């Protein structure tokens, strides 16, 4: 019973996190050919998420994910592992920086929410 009560308290946060992830996926799938529109929409959703999460750690995680994830892709792409059909910076799309940051922050926040439910490894 305790789990279901906690779920009620955390339900809105978890739904927000899922909506954030699904929105970003939809934006990239629908608009990836338009780098600036995709960048704006992903940035817009990330700003909303970071404001909602209100955490300096989340901001740090976002920036770390944006830099580490994107530059990892730049390295892998330079060795020919894969390519992006539309690029704007170092053979990757500009929105990828923000998407990586949002993805890492999403996983961090979702992990916190699951931890609040009392779920342990």
Give me the chain's average pLDDT, please.
92
Round to whole Å and give the CA distance between 58 and 113.
13
* Residue 121 pLDDT grade (very low, low, confident, very high; cuts 50, 70, 90): low
- The better pLDDT of the pair 2, 105 is held by 105
pLDDT in tens, 69-95: 999 999 999 999 999 999 998 999 999
Q: What count of Cα atoms within 13 Å lies in the side-chain half-sphere of residue 108?
A: 21
Task: From 49, 44, 59, select the one nearest 16 (Cα to Cα).
Answer: 49
Per the DSSP assignment, residues forming a β-bridge with 89 are: 92
The least confident of 48-57, 91-100, 106-115 is 106-115
CA distances from 13 to 35, 53, 112 (A): 29, 9, 10
Instruction: Measure CA 25 to chain center.
Output: 9
């Amino acid at each position: 019973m305790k789990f279901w009560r906690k779920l009620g308290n955390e339900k809105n946060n978890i739904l927000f996190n899922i909506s954030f992830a699904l929105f970003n996926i939809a934006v990239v799938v629908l608009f990836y050919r338009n780098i600036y529109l995709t960048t704006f929409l992903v940035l817009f959703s990330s700003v909303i998420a970071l404001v909602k999460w209100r955490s300096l750690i989340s901001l740090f995680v976002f920036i770390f994910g944006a830099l580490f994830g994107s530059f990892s892709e730049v390295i892998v792409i330079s060795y020919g592992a894969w390519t992006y059909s539309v690029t704007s910076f170092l053979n990757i799309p500009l929105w990828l920086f923000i998407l990586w940051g949002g993805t890492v922050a999403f996983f961090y926040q979702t992990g916190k929410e699951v931890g609040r439910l009392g779920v342990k490894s």
